[in-house]
Structure 1
Amino acid sequence: MIDFWLPAGLLLLTALAFLLIPVLRIRKLQAEEDRTALNVTLYQERLQELEVQRQACVLDDAQLQAGRAEAARELLDDTEGVQRRSSVLGGKIPLISALLVPVLGVALYLHWGAIDQVEQTRQMAAAQPQSIEEMTARLEQTVKQQPDSAEAWYFLGRTYMAQERASDATKAFERAVEIAGRAPELLGQWAQALYFAEGKQWNEQLQALTDEALKADPQEVTSLGLLGIAAYESQRYADAVRYWERLVAVLPEQDPSRAAIVGGIERARQQMGEGEQSSAATAPSAKVHALEVNVSLSPEVQKNVQPDDAVFVFARALSGPPMPLAVKRLKVSDLPVQVSLSDVDAMMPELKISRFDQVQLVARVSRAGNATQGEWTGKTGPVANTARDVQALLIDSRDGQAQ
């Protein structure tokens, strides 16, 4: 913390200078006043001597007046340039203040200052997190130390979403809204977390949140994307096209998620029976390739799972961030099944399959419905993001032991 306390110490020294310099000047003036007083005393003694000599008839009247004039002239010469001043405060009060300033300054800062935040910022800057789990732990520690930091809650929610912990993300975004107010972006993120936490089931609360976000900002991208996804999942393809077209219209041309949204529009139009027609709002069009994955259970695993156990199928970058790029949630009773993973299934707009040349495919069985930890798992890869063949993904290992 020397990089903090050194500037703080310099500021304290500057404050002390304003107190101590006047004290030193007062002492100098006091010395000058003492010297002047001494000169006046000598002058008075000189006058007495002259008067004694006059009474003794040693000096006549003329000599007496000349002696008095000479003594006065010497007094004026000795006191020339000296200004008599008096200190209202005196010397003790500034000295006491000079001692109290650093003590009170440190005490007040320790009480009302932000030393914990300074130390935390230094620690985070000194060592960057090496994994999503480490980042999550740091953000959780941050919100404990700064429970009123809307920014910390927001980023914690985003990190939870990257870990497929939608329920935890919902609480984080809700807390951010309580602190920072009902900003459209926060409402959109909160609604998105709720949607995935509720198993992609639309409800009145989600509708209210997205309506409020779009009323405040008709171009709020998270809400538009979420409404499109929800409409597509419920086979309301016309609504999906409408929301995604609005989204594409506000996305910059260089935005990496634009192509994925355009691909989603084309797929929705195909479902509507309109083929691959593209409207002017979606031009130039782009195809989004999907990885086809056949998910199944080994005989041993089949004996140890229950039909309602959750199954998470996801793709993650072979070399890159550990968080999933695309996710599907199923149940054991659905297996074996063939699923498609593409940019449309991405949890975060900045993390898409199309942005990574090779991915790893993972499936996990979790009785508790936890996407990050379960009982059984299976992996395969590396797989090119442009692979056309159906990829076989067998769940055959205890979670934590798959190779």
Structure 2
Amino acid sequence: MMIFWLLIAAMVAVAMAMLLPVLLGRGQLGGNPRKAINVAIYKERFAELEAEVKSGALNEEQLELTQRELERNLLEDVKGEDDDRTAAGPARSARTALAIALILPVIAVGLYFALGDTGLVSRSPATLAQAPGGLPTGVDSVEDMVEALRARLQRQPDNAERWLLLARSYLVLERYDESVLAYARAHQLLGDDSQLLADYAEALAFANGNRLNGEAARLAARALELQGDNRKALWLMGIVAVQRGDRAQAKAYWTRLLQLAPADSQEVRLLQQYIAQIDNADVQASEGERASAPASAPKMKSAAAPAASLSVRVALDPALAQRATPDDTVFIFAQAAQGPKMPLAIVRKQVKGLPVTVTLDDSMAMIPAMKLSRFKQVVVGARISRSGQATPQSGDLEGRTGVIELGSADTVEITINKVRP
């Protein structure tokens, strides 16, 4: 802290060393600007008089009289200014310099305490690194930030960038209906932008129970039409094709996306997995068709992967019971052991229902491409959220398992026994 104040003093001293010579009359950047202006005006007026003589508006005698009057006025103006500067300049400059030397440091420190963050001075890098979410001072949560953004948009309803930020924030908070409305407003202001339409389609799909059809499908298709290499649009259109049962088209979209994805990324590995599943489904379908060649053959077997489910029992550690209320929300979910942390299945309960046993299955997937039956190993968790939002927050109560092989246990036991830092 002492080093900080020494640095402040040094910077003020440097600033004063630069200002004082000018204020005291040394190192001036030029002469008297008012004197220069008067001379320029005189020259301009004299040129006008000469022009009047040439035009016949004035004779030589009138020109001489007017010129002498101008010269006398100019001399009086210049002499008066020089006398004023000689008499008052040094004393006034000294007084001004002294006042600024005293006031400048006070103003600088005052502004720092009013606008700066004095806490940063005494915080270590480790403490700063642990600052939650980097939210601005006075903003206690993402919800507070969103409300502040909404208030600004009431004053500036045509700010498209803020509508986009609001829409994305709602999406993160899983407030899908509000996200859709914000995207709709941004679309009104910006028109058909490829990335905007892809994001808008995604929000509509979430708001529509993870179904990419109707307007959501149309927006995704339009986004891809505007920009053929839009990665989100390619991903969404692949999901649209899967939901329509068009595996060949889904493979075509995701193969294009695979070519655009960063090499050796998790995105590449997942896309390769999805494309391989489509190929396997096509092989199974082809084999089924050959086996059912006779006219009286039974209906072809579904090529879909077998449904997966997981029984989970959740209880709350009695030691944490006082930190939750009966109406707090409990999220019970399964995630892939490796890969994206988007829940493969999720269900919502309340604390007053604990202990509770639920079954997680493919019907609870957020998107068809990310569901239990597509993964062999998962991690199961449960979290109590006082805000009711699925986004984890500091202070939430949680518990989770290690890696579980699907089908290896009848019922998974979870105890909520930790407080999220």
Query: TM (normalized to structure 1)?
Result: 0.48
Greater Rg by CA: 1
Query: TM (normalized to structure 2)?
Result: 0.46
